[in-house]
Amino acid sequence: MSSVNKNSEQTRKAFALTTPLYYVNDVPHIGSAYTTLAADAIARFQRLQGYEVLLITGTDEHGQKIQRAAESRGQSPQAHCDAIVARFVELWDCLNIQYDRFSRTTSDRHHAIVKEFFQRVWDQGDIYLGRQQGWYCVSCEEFKEERDLLSNQRCPLHPNQQVEWRDEQNYFFRLSKYQAQLEQLYADQPDFIQPASRRNEVLSFVQQGLQDFSISRVNLDWGFPVPTDPSHTLYVWFDALLGYVTALLDPEAEPTLANAIAHWWPINLHLIGKDILRFHAVYWPAMQLSAGLPVSRQVFGHGFLTKDGQKMGKSLGNTLDPFQLVAAYGADALRYYFLKEIEFGRDGDFSEVRFINIINADLANDLGNLLNRVLKLASRYCDQKVPTIAVGDLPADHPLVAIAAPLGQAVQQAYRQLAFSDACTACLRLVQAGNKFIDEQAPWQLYKQGQTAEADAVLYVLLEAVRLAAYLLSPVIPTTSTKIYQQLGFAVDFNDRARIATIAPFAQHAQWGILAAGQALAEPDPVFRRLEWQDVAPAPIG
C-alpha cells in the first residue's frame, strides 16, 4: 500500500493539507478563522507552483460539548450542527477561502470510514476495556492532569469553567505500545513537528512515558457507537481525526479506507493551533501506525490570537465577530493583518487600531499609492504603455534590482517554511524602496527635461517592482493582487484556482523583469482604499 502511494507521489506534484475540523459548539469567531486563512495562503502558494492541491477543512460535530450546546439552545444535536455548519461555510466564502473538501463528522461516509479504521486497530489488539478516572474538561474534550489545573479545579484554557470528575469503564487505545516507534519517527523526520519550540514540547511529553488513552465514553449519546460494544460511544477525538481521512474520498467513491488513501495519502501538512498539538503529533501518528497507514508528513502548531494576553475564544467571550470585521474592512485586509503582523507559531494580540494603521500604511499608502503614481505618469508620458527599455542593461547594484532580483526565491523559501510574516515583509521592503526611488528620481522632472530614456527606465523598474510584489503577495491578498495585475495589463485573476498555475506560473512570474515593453496599461484606479475606524462590536456571546 505504501509503495503504491510513494510511486504515485514521485510522478505527481500533489499537496494535501488540512485545517482542524472545527467544533460546532458555537458560530465561528476570529480565532477559529486564523488557521483557515493560513491554510488558504499555503494552498494558493502551492497552486502557483503547479501543485495539485487538496485543501481540507470541516467540522467536528460529536461529543459532550456539542450535545450540551444543542441542549442549551433547545435544539436536536443534528439541527444545531446543521445551523452552525452553515455559518462556517458562509465565513469561508466571505474570507475568500478556496477549500476543496468540507468534512463533516456526522456524515454517513465518515461513519463507514470510522468503523473500518476502528476494526483495523481492534484487529491489532490495540483496544482494551479499562477504568478511567480523572478530571475532564468538556471544552477541551480532554482529561487533564491534576498538576496542570488552576486552583478551584479549572482548566487553564477555560478558566471560567470547572473540570468534571469522571470514574467509568472506557475502552483504551494502547498508545504506550507506540512509544519507541514515535520516538523513531521524530528522530527520522526532524521537521515532522514545527516550529522547533512545539517539537521540543512534544519530545519532552513523550519522554515522560506515554500512557494509553480512553477512546470511548459512557453516558453520552451524541457520537458513533463503539462498533464492538454499542453501549459505549466513541470518544470525539478518535472520530474527529479520522475526518481527515474521510475528506480524501472523491465525492462519488464508495467510503472505504482503500479508496480514501488511494490518491492523496499521506497528508502533507496538518495546520493546527498549539492547544491541539498532542492529539496531532502523538495520538494521531500512533493511530495511523496501528492501522498500518503511512504517517502524515508534518504538523505545524501555530500560536493564539489573544486579547489582553488571553486566548480569544467563545467560552471567554473576548473575541470579535469575523462577519462584522469582513463586512467593515474586507477579506484582504484581514488576511494581510493576521499573516503579516503575527509571526506564525507565536501568539499575537489583535487590536483594531493597530490593524487599521498597518493596513493603511502598507496596502493603501505604500503599495496602492505607488501603483497609482506610476500609472498616472505612464498615462501622461508613455501613451499608457509599459516603456521600452533594455532590462538586461540595468546595473546589478540598481537600488530596486538589487532587492527585486533575489526576492522570488526568498519569498518562496519563506512560504515553504510558513513564515508568512517574512514573506510579506520582504515584498513590502521592495515597495518601500520603490517609493523612495520615485521621490529621489522624480521621473516627472526627467520627462519635462527631455531625459526620456532615463525617465522610462525609472518607470519600468517601478512598474515591475509593483508587479513582482503583487504576485508574491497574491497568496495573502489575492483580490488586491488581481486588481494590480489587471491594471498592469495582465488578464490574470488570482482567484481563478483552476487556471492560475497555467496563466501565471511561479517559475516565470516570480522572476524579476518579465513585464513586456509596450504592454497596454489601464487607467489608474485606487486598488486599496484607506480604512476608516468602524468600531466593530465584540461577538455576541452564546
Q: Could you tell me which stretch among 175-183, 237-245, 358-366, 368-376 binds ligand MSP (CB under 6 A)?
A: 237-245
Phi, psi for residue 13 in degrees, rounded to 5: -95, 90
Burial class of residue 439, CB neighbours in 10 A (0-12, 13-18, 19+): exposed
d(C-alpha 301, C-alpha 22), whole Å: 15
Q: Could you tell me which stretch among 240-248, 426-434, 502-510, 517-525 binds ligand MSP (CB under 6 A)?
A: 240-248
Position 91 contacts ligand MSP (CB under 6 A): no
Give me 112's grid cell.
Answer: 463507514
Q: Shortest Cβ distance from residue 240 to ligand MSP (Å)?
A: 4
Name which of 127 and 287 has its Cβ closer to ligand MSP.
Answer: 287
CB 173 within 8 A of CB 215: yes
Residues 382-411, interacting with ligand MSP (CB under 6 A): none
Position 241 contacts ligand MSP (CB under 6 A): yes
Beta strands in 176-218 (DSSP E): 193-194, 213-214, 216-217
| Interface map 479-508 toward ligand MSP (x if CB under 6 A) | ------------------------------
Give me 457's grid cell.
Answer: 527606465
Which three-class secondary structure state does DSSP give residue 487? helix
Name which of 310 and 435 has its Cβ closer to ligand MSP.
Answer: 310
Task: Choose, by CB under 6 A, the member of 15, 23, 192, 338 that binds ligand MSP.
Answer: 23
Position 60 contacts ligand MSP (CB under 6 A): yes
d(C-alpha 24, C-alpha 419), whole Å: 29
Provide the 8-state DSSP code for 385.
Answer: B
Task: Choose, by CB under 6 A, the member of 44, 199, 232, 311 that binds ligand MSP.
Answer: 311
CB 339 within 8 A of CB 421: yes
Task: Choose, by CB under 6 A, the member of 21, 137, 247, 423 that binds ligand MSP.
Answer: 21
Q: Shortest Cβ distance from residue 31 to ligand MSP (Å)?
A: 3
535 dihedral zone (left: phi>0; alpha: psi -120 to 50; beta): left
Burial class of residue 148, CB neighbours in 10 A (0-12, 13-18, 19+): exposed
Residues 257-276, interacting with ligand MSP (CB under 6 A): 272-273, 275-276
Residues 346-385, interacting with ligand MSP (CB under 6 A): none
Name which of 97 and 272 has its Cβ closer to ligand MSP.
Answer: 272
Name which of 30 and 461 has its Cβ closer to ligand MSP.
Answer: 30
Position 34 contacts ligand MSP (CB under 6 A): yes
Which three-class secondary structure state does DSSP give residue 1? coil
Residue type, 198: R
Q: Could you tell me which stretch among 29-37, 79-87, 224-232, 416-424 binds ligand MSP (CB under 6 A)?
A: 29-37
Q: Shortest Cβ distance from residue 397 to ligand MSP (Å)?
A: 43
| Interface map 35-54 toward ligand MSP (x if CB under 6 A) | x-------------------
Strand partners, 131: 169
CA distances (Å), origin 487, targets 378, 401, 455: 12, 22, 20
d(C-alpha 150, C-alpha 146), whole Å: 9
Name which of 22 and 355 has its Cβ closer to ligand MSP.
Answer: 22
- Which of these, 52, 33, 47, lies nearest to 93 by C-alpha position? 33
Task: Choose, by CB under 6 A, the member of 55, 81, 137, 240 that binds ligand MSP.
Answer: 240
d(C-alpha 231, C-alpha 217), whole Å: 9
Q: By rule CB under 6 A, what count of residues binds ligand MSP?
A: 21
Contacts of 50 (CB under 8 A, 6+ apart): 13, 501, 505, 506, 507
Residues 111-170, interacting with ligand MSP (CB under 6 A): none
Position 97 contacts ligand MSP (CB under 6 A): no
Helices 77-94 and 322-329: angle between axes, nearest 10 degrees: 20
Nearest residue to ligand MSP on Cβ basis: 273
Place of cell 527585486: 404
Give me 132's grid cell.
Answer: 478511567
Q: Could you tell me which stretch among 123-131, 245-253, 311-319, 403-411 binds ligand MSP (CB under 6 A)?
A: 311-319
Q: Shortest Cβ distance from residue 383 to ligand MSP (Å)?
A: 50
Q: Shortest Cβ distance from residue 214 to ligand MSP (Å)?
A: 17
d(C-alpha 174, C-alpha 494), whole Å: 47
Q: Could you tell me which stretch among 21-29, 287-295, 394-402, 472-480 binds ligand MSP (CB under 6 A)?
A: 21-29
> Which residues contribute to the site for ligand MSP (CB under 6 A)?
20-23, 31-32, 34-35, 60, 240-241, 243, 272-273, 275-276, 304-305, 311-313
